[in-house]
A and B are shown apart, each in its own frame.
Chain A
Amino acid sequence: MESHTTVKVVLLACGSFNPITNMHLRMFELARDHLEDTGQYRVVKGIISPVGDGYKKKGLIEACHRLEMARLATENSDWITVDSWESLQPEWVETAKVARHHYEDLLAAEQNDDEVDTVKYAKKRRIEENESSAHHSRGDGIHLMLLCGADVLESFGIPNLWKQEDITEIVSRYGLVCITRSGNDPHKFIYQSDTLWKYRKKIHVVPEWVTNEISATHVRRALRRGWSVRYLLPESVIYYIHEHGLYSAESEQKNANVILAPLQRYTDASSS
């Protein structure tokens, strides 16, 4: 075993998950394979954290449904979990704060050997075994990394969407695992940003060799038009969507003329 040199990693994915698709789940698998292949990391857990309703994104359906779909989708994974903390906050929470919350959770769990989590017992136990079978080092402890697509990295450049100090905190304190498709060039984007360049060693770029463009936007469109979405998302999620009549032309109009919470917050801040 080379566990003496491996660092335990927890992957955190933030986003709408409106709805969760096989692509979201694939990102976790790709990230884990990539990190473990370096020989330096051991990925012990994945956390899916759906954004709260306060995000005000167009077509964003209620968090309770998005959470439940994510739970159903991860039922067959022995390492990916869903966390409701972010989605339960009355207002939109900055990603850096979500990361902070989970990092503190992990540190506390490390100390108490007690997971503050709601995952199923079996999964919880497996993950705990994972977490403790790696080396008992207190010092380097556990790393939290933010898992995202190349689009999130590029969104760092959109004015008023991110606070600069949040970007710095995310890349410097936690690190990023960024899944990229052919056609995107995250390295160039990193090079062009002084902040990202400074912390480039904390940004892991994972190439997705097999392009897979399933997006939640496409899934919602297909559902509105009555097209099949089978094999794009887990059966159990499709069943849930039909059962609750989610994703219609009407639901797509939610927040239609509302400004996205981060834009509202930072635009106000900069103009006042």
Chain B
Amino acid sequence: MVTHRIPIVLLACGSFNPITNQHMRLFELARDHMHSTGQYQVVGGIVSPVSDGYGKQGLVPAKHRIAMAKLALQSSNWVRVDEWESQQPDWTETVVTMRYHYGRILKEYRQSMGTHTDSSGNTPHLSSPSPHLKLLCGADFLDTFKIPGLWQDDHVEELAGHFGLICVSRGNLQPERAVHESDTLSRHRHNIFLVREWVRNETSATEVRRALRRGLSVKYLIPDSVIDYIHQHNLYTEDSERRNKGTVLRPLIKQAQQLVKSLDN
């Protein structure tokens, strides 16, 4: 019964440069998996494109990435696009983005509880537990925790411990190994859900951009509406792929600065 299930919202962070059918598949796979546990009810999904400050090579302006994600998700009745992260002037740590969304979700939850409380006041219905927010990611995401200087330890702790992760894997042991090799992830392994994708689908935004640069078809890899948008705005070209070339990824700089600061103290 729905009443005993914990509601969860799935958040996917990334470049979405551009959004592909595979990104949207991850949401579908994760929802099916979480429902099959019998413990969770997925109540929403959020696509949060990274801001231009991220400094990744070939990253086209956020307004386009947002517009494409919106077009792609027009037909979804449960996944939506959120612009907050993309509008931040600087790159935002994933945990900070999660805090922001969790805050909003809790606020909405409390408001809806407020309308449901009885006259005596403050006891929310036990039948509707407060929602959880979990980060949805692809198979290679867990490996990024190993990259020196990319993640702050306390952020990994908060991400895995407080929020939780849903990781879609391709059947190799890559995610299991990543969890095993990290003490933090291992400690919170019960909060890390590994979803098996039985059908291999290697569509990546990188491949889509490559095909577009070369004038090859990307039909059926991304929605038609997104293809039209890309052509209309002439988005992915050899020039656009050179954007941020040679730039150090913002997280690496930001984390290093924090390290220097903490050493100064």
Q: Chain A: residues with CB nearer than 8 A to chain B?
A: 22, 25-26, 29-30, 32-33, 76-77, 209-215, 218, 227-228, 230-232, 235
Please measure, in the bound complex, the distance between the C-alpha atom of A29 and the C-alpha atom of B221, giving whole angstroms.
Answer: 11
B224 neighbours in A (Cβ, 8 Å): 76
The stretch from B24-32, B57-65, B103-111 touching chain A is B24-32
Q: Evaluate contact between A212 and B203: CB separation under 8 angstroms.
A: yes
Write 19 A-B pairs (CB below 8 A) sorted by A numbering.
Answer: A26-B220, A29-B219, A30-B217, A33-B217, A77-B219, A210-B203, A210-B221, A211-B200, A211-B201, A211-B202, A212-B202, A213-B199, A213-B200, A214-B199, A230-B24, A230-B28, A230-B76, A231-B21, A231-B25
Please measure, in the bound complex, the distance between the C-alpha atom of A76 and the C-alpha atom of B219, giving whole angstroms.
Answer: 10
5 nearest A-B pairs in the assembled complex, by CB-CB distance: A228-B28, A29-B217, A231-B21, A22-B220, A213-B200
14 more CB-based (< 8 A) A-B contacts, given A214-B201, A232-B199: A22-B220, A25-B220, A26-B219, A26-B220, A33-B216, A209-B207, A210-B204, A212-B202, A213-B199, A218-B198, A228-B29, A230-B25, A230-B76, A231-B25
Contact of A210 among B24, B32, B202, B219 (CB under 8 A): B202
| Shortest CB distance A2–B (Å) | 16
> B247 at the A/B interface (Cβ < 8 Å)?
no
Q: Evaluate contact between A26 and B221: CB separation under 8 angstroms.
A: yes
Known: A22-B220, A29-B220. A215 touches B199 (CB 8 A): yes
Known: A26-B220, A29-B217, A32-B217. A231 touches B24 (CB 8 A): yes
A77 neighbours in B (Cβ, 8 Å): 219
A211 neighbours in B (Cβ, 8 Å): 200-202
Please measure, in the bound complex, the distance between the C-alpha atom of A25 and the C-alpha atom of B22, giving whole angstroms.
Answer: 16
B24 neighbours in A (Cβ, 8 Å): 230-231
Q: Evaluate contact between B32 and A227: CB separation under 8 angstroms.
A: yes
Q: Evaluate contact between B75 and A235: CB separation under 8 angstroms.
A: yes
| Shortest CB distance B221–A (Å) | 7
Chain B contacts with A in 202-223, Cβ cutoff 8 A: 202-204, 207, 216-217, 219-221
B29 neighbours in A (Cβ, 8 Å): 228
* Residue of B198, B199, B203 most packed against chain A (CB within 10 A): B199
Contact of A212 among B32, B76, B201, B219 (CB under 8 A): B201
Please measure, in the bound complex, the distance between the C-alpha atom of A211 and the C-alpha atom of B221, giving whole angstroms.
Answer: 11
Q: How many residues of B contact A (CB 8 A)?
A: 24
Q: Which A-chain residue is minimally distant from B28 (CB atoms)?
A: A228
Known: A33-B217, A235-B75. A228 touches B200 (CB 8 A): no
A29 neighbours in B (Cβ, 8 Å): 217, 219-220
Chain B 186-207, CB-CB to A under 8 Å as 1, else 0, gives 0000000000001111111001
B217 neighbours in A (Cβ, 8 Å): 29-30, 32-33
Q: Which B-chain residue is minimally distant from A25 (CB atoms)?
A: B220
Known: A211-B201, A215-B199. A232 touches B25 (CB 8 A): yes
Q: Evaluate contact between A22 and B21: CB separation under 8 angstroms.
A: yes
| Shortest CB distance A115–B (Å) | 23
B199 neighbours in A (Cβ, 8 Å): 213-215, 218, 232
Please measure, in the bound complex, the distance between the C-alpha atom of A213 and the C-alpha atom of B22, giving whole angstroms.
Answer: 12
Q: Evaluate contact between A210 and B207: CB separation under 8 angstroms.
A: yes
Please measure, in the bound complex, the distance between the C-alpha atom of A30 and the C-alpha atom of B219, giving whole angstroms.
Answer: 10
A32 neighbours in B (Cβ, 8 Å): 217
Please measure, in the bound complex, the distance between the C-alpha atom of A235 and the C-alpha atom of B200, giving whole angstroms.
Answer: 20
B200 neighbours in A (Cβ, 8 Å): 211-213
| Shortest CB distance B41–A (Å) | 15
Q: Which B-chain residue is minimally distant from A227 (CB atoms)?
A: B32
Please measure, in the bound complex, the distance between the C-alpha atom of A210 and the C-alpha atom of B200, giving whole angstroms.
Answer: 10
Please measure, in the bound complex, the distance between the C-alpha atom of A211 and the C-alpha atom of B204, giving whole angstroms.
Answer: 10
Please measure, in the bound complex, the distance between the C-alpha atom of A219 and the C-alpha atom of B188, giving whole angstroms.
Answer: 34
Please measure, in the bound complex, the distance between the C-alpha atom of A209 and the C-alpha atom of B211, giving whole angstroms.
Answer: 11
A235 neighbours in B (Cβ, 8 Å): 75
Please measure, in the bound complex, the distance between the C-alpha atom of A77 and the C-alpha atom of B76, giving whole angstroms.
Answer: 22
Please measure, in the bound complex, the distance between the C-alpha atom of A128 and the C-alpha atom of B22, giving whole angstroms.
Answer: 35
Known: A212-B202, A214-B201, A215-B199. A228 touches B21 (CB 8 A): no
B201 neighbours in A (Cβ, 8 Å): 211-214
Q: Which A-chain residue is minimally distant from B203 (CB atoms)?
A: A210
Chain B contacts with A in 94-127, Cβ cutoff 8 A: none
B221 neighbours in A (Cβ, 8 Å): 26, 210
| Shortest CB distance B74–A (Å) | 10
| Shortest CB distance B173–A (Å) | 19
Please measure, in the bound complex, the distance between the C-alpha atom of A214 and the C-alpha atom of B203, giving whole angstroms.
Answer: 12
A213 neighbours in B (Cβ, 8 Å): 199-201
Q: Evaluate contact between B28 and A231: CB separation under 8 angstroms.
A: yes
Please measure, in the bound complex, the distance between the C-alpha atom of A213 and the C-alpha atom of B220, giving whole angstroms.
Answer: 13
